[in-house]
Amino acid sequence: TWLVEVFHPEVAVGQKISFAVKNALLDRGLHASDRAPALAAGDIEVIGAVEPERAYPLVCARYAAAGSLRPDDALMAVVLRDPRETMLHVGVCADGRWRWLR
């Protein structure tokens, strides 16, 4: 099951991107869920203090350890990594491992 999260400063834009990504997954015969993985407040506080390049792999590992991502789940994150950029980046978290797609 694919879970999709979009991190964009404009909420309406993020919602449109999320909808489009989920539809693209469904068009390919994959299952997309509206469920979102969750972390404990303490995890969020610690991760918020970490530089972004290290934060994504750390969050991914915590999702797996906390059971927020089940063994048959994968999280696709669409991220605006730098507010000065217009290009979106996509990363995948599966089996507790994070990787940026190219």
The domain of 54 spans 2-100
User: Residue 46: its pLDDT value, please?
Assistant: 76
Helices 41-48 and 52-66: crossing angle in degrees, nearest 10, is 160
Residue for token pair 């999709």: 4
User: Residue 53: its pLDDT value, please?
Assistant: 82
Average pLDDT over residues 80-95: 90
Which residue type sits at 22?
K
Helices (H), the chain: 11-27, 41-48, 52-66
- Measured distance CA(102)–CA(96) in Å, rounded: 19
Banded model confidence at residue 83, pLDDT cuts 50, 70, 90: confident
Provide the number of structural domains found in the chain: 1
Q: What is the pTM of this model?
A: 0.86
**Is there a contact between 83 and 11 (Cβ–Cβ < 8 Å)?**
no
pLDDT tens across 32-71, in order?
999 988 887 777 777 778 887 888 899 999 999 999 999 9
Task: Calculate what percentage of the chain has a pLDDT beyond 90.
Answer: 66
- Measured distance CA(73)–CA(64) in Å, rounded: 10
